[in-house]
Homo-oligomer: A and B are copies of this chain.
Amino acid sequence: MDEETLQAALNTADVLCAQRGVRFTAQRRRVLELVCRAERPVGAYEILGQLHTGATAAPPTVYRALDFLLEQGFVHKLETLHAFIGCTHPEHPHASQFLICADCGRVKELESEAVAGCLRSAAQETGFHPKRPVIEVLGTCAQCTHKAKKV
């Protein structure tokens, strides 16, 4: 995420938190910034390592901040990677799909209503009531596929 996008994301978070009456503390802001600034998904302990803000920091510090950001929909958790990524459109709740490149490690967030709807239908056919769909695809991104062909 580039600097401009980052600032926009932080501003959006500010506004949304105000609207929702929740506190966007310095700590939470800092964690969101670290997650968004990263080119790739970041693990909790990786964030922790970058949090040396004068005082120390322990795992719960990071996990609490992440829990908050997840609740507010500012970040997503990638279950297959045990890592976190900034959301690209936090203003509305959504079921998204993640394309994870095993080569470069970059992740693209899709928001295909077709996929979401299809899965919802398939689930509901069996009488199942979906709450939280987790859709993550491991593979190779366009860029890396292209590179591989050239070599």
Q: Which residues of A are at the interface with B, using a C-beta cutoff of 8 A? A: 79-80, 97, 99, 101-102, 108, 110, 112, 114-115, 118-119, 122-123, 126-142, 145
Contact = CB atoms under 8 A, between A and B. Distances in A.
Contacts of A137: 119, 123, 128, 130-134
Nearest to A140: B129
Contacts of A129: 139-141, 145
A109 to B, nearest CB: 11
Give the number of times this chain occurs in the complex, counting copies.
2
A78 to B, nearest CB: 9
16 contacts: A79-B134, A101-B128, A102-B131, A110-B126, A112-B122, A114-B118, A115-B115, A115-B122, A118-B118, A128-B139, A128-B142, A129-B145, A130-B139, A131-B139, A133-B135, A134-B135
A134 B132 contact: no
Nearest to A120: B137
A110 B136 contact: no
Contact of A139 (B80, B132, B135, B141): B132
A79 B140 CA distance: 20
A65 to B, nearest CB: 21
A97 B119 contact: yes
A145 B119 contact: no
Contacts of A80: 79, 134
A135 B123 CA distance: 11
Nearest to A131: B139
